[in-house]
Amino acid sequence: MGDTPMNGETMNGATETVEVHFEDLDAQGVVHNARYVLLLERALAAYWSRNGYPWDPSAPHFMDAFFVVKDFSITYHAPITRPGPVSVRFWIDRLGTTSAVYGFRVVSQDEAVTFADGRRVHVRLDPATLRPAVIGPELRAACEPLLASAARERDAQPA
């Protein structure tokens, strides 16, 4: 909390520790660019599972959190050169009617080194039609701790 996204805005959010595995390294001995997607995925899965939205079709809220990735962009700043823990810092920059825009940074455990940063857009789908669907009030409330300050003011629903 109290961290700053790349645009300088004060934000809330979460930080998850994830493991870089040996198989994440490429032939040059650095984390392969495509594996950063998995680092973010591992962090989001850990956070949402702990907060009542596990990736389990038998879980009560599974269908409420039926999202697909619409857009993913990343900028690499420094290579990760060995297996071990890294931190993934993430927040929601925008919470729309049917979508959420996450910002993220992959950083060293002490947060002294930013390895990469970017954004990921999720769209909620209706599981039956696979068409965009409204993010319900319960899930919107669960997103609150992740909302960046500007998103909190702009996207929070009135009580």
Following DSSP, what letter does each residue of 42-109 receive, concatenated? HHHHHHHHHTT--S-TTSTTGGGG-EEEEEEEEEE-S---SSEEEEEEEEEEEE-SSEEEEEEEEE-T
All domains in the chain, ordered by first residue: 14-155 (3.10.129.10)
The residue among 98, 117, 122, 97 whose CA lies nearest residue 11 is 117
Q: Which amino acid is at 139?
A: L
pLDDT at 8: 39
The confidence score (pLDDT) of residue 157 equals 57
**Torsion angle of the four alpha carbons 36, 42, 47, 51, in this order, in degrees rounded to the nearest 10:** 150
Mean pLDDT by 10 residues, the chain (159 residues): 40 91 96 96 95 84 89 98 97 96 97 97 94 95 90 61
Model-level pTM? 0.86
pLDDT of residue 59: 78
For residue 87, the surrounding DSSP H or E stretch is strand 84-95
